[in-house]
Amino acid sequence: MKRMLALILSAAASAALFAATSEISVGLKMDELDFVVGETVGAVVNVMNVSPDEISVGYPNSPDRFFIEIFRSPEMNQLTRVSSGPFVAPFVLKPNEGLKLATRIGDIYSMKTPGRYLARPVLVHRGIRYEGQMRAYDVVPGMQLSTALQMFSNHEGLRREFELLRWSRRGHDHLFITAHDSGMQAKDWQTTDLGEMMKITKPTVSIMPSGEVIVLHRLDPDNFIRSEFWSVPNGIEFVRRELIQDPETAGSQRVREMYQESGGVKPKKNPWWKFW
């Protein structure tokens, strides 16, 4: 009788736990299927609450927690966090509410080694873990196209090497820029996606004495993209991005525009008796 009662209580507890887990769900959608080493590894977190409880995460008195666990495939070794910062902005979910939140996994974990990784979102509410499905993504090295070295007159021994990389994303070639410090300090700076590129013209990176870093790459047959950064010993800041027309095609394009503005060239009509 006691054994039967224990089984009934165990089944009831299991059913209650299943009901609870089905009332709160958490999901993760990666921004890309692969990321170049040094990118922020962005994703979107989706939380749904159809339970009678309120969920609160990230505020000083919040009782609940949200985090993302990262594993390296195929060994499934779990990574250790390098930052104690939050994964998402603070939020409160009332019953029958849901929301989507952006997250930057690369700010919390170091993924400098190329390979396959798996991310699992976890929400802890009332001591119960609500786990989402694991999402796989790849970290790739990229293909090096060009490099440039920056030296600092007021920081002798500090060397900063900028590197242009190419990788295919959603069926199109993209250009990336990254930087690495060596000498008096070692640091890897964030990798930035500069957008689509065409391989017919090799991208260039130029460093000015004032600290400006200029990247020029071809977007399409008629246009270039000029990206400007400001690089100082303690930081790198994006300044602007400009669309520049290729000077070799600008003239022919203007001729076509003038032709269209004039309504086209009318054919010459000769009298019927002139055959020349």
> What is the number of H-type helices and E-type strands within the chain?
2, 20
Give the domain 143-260 fold.
Lipocalin (2.40.128)
In this prediction, residue 185 carries a pLDDT of: 87
CA–CA separation, 219 and 172 (whole Å): 11
194 pLDDT higher than 60:
yes
Q: CA 198: distance to chain centroid? A: 21
- pLDDT tens-digit map of 138-153: 999 999 999 999 999 8
Length of the chain: 276
In this prediction, residue 13 carries a pLDDT of: 43
DSSP character for 50? -
Q: Which of 109, 134, 143 is nearest to 39 (CA)?
A: 109
Q: Which residue has the tokens 């009509």?
A: 269
In this prediction, residue 102 carries a pLDDT of: 98
CA–CA separation, 137 and 133 (whole Å): 13
44 pLDDT higher than 90:
yes
In this prediction, residue 153 carries a pLDDT of: 85
Q: By mean pLDDT, which of 110-114, 182-186, 263-267 is the weakest?
A: 263-267
CA–CA separation, 233 and 190 (whole Å): 15
What is the phi/psi pair of residue 175, to 5°? Answer: -105, 135
- pLDDT tens-digit map of 68-114: 999 999 999 999 999 999 999 999 999 999 999 999 999 999 999 99
CA–CA separation, 101 and 86 (whole Å): 12
CA–CA separation, 126 and 63 (whole Å): 8
- Here the tokens at position 26 are 């958490």
- pLDDT tens-digit map of 207-243: 999 999 999 999 998 899 999 999 999 999 999 999 9
Give the domain 25-140 fold.
Immunoglobulin-like (2.60.40)
Give the burial class of 235: count Cβ atoms within 10 A of its Cβ; 0-12 exposed, 13-18 middle, 19 or more buried: exposed
| Domain boundaries along the sequence of the chain | 25-140, 143-260
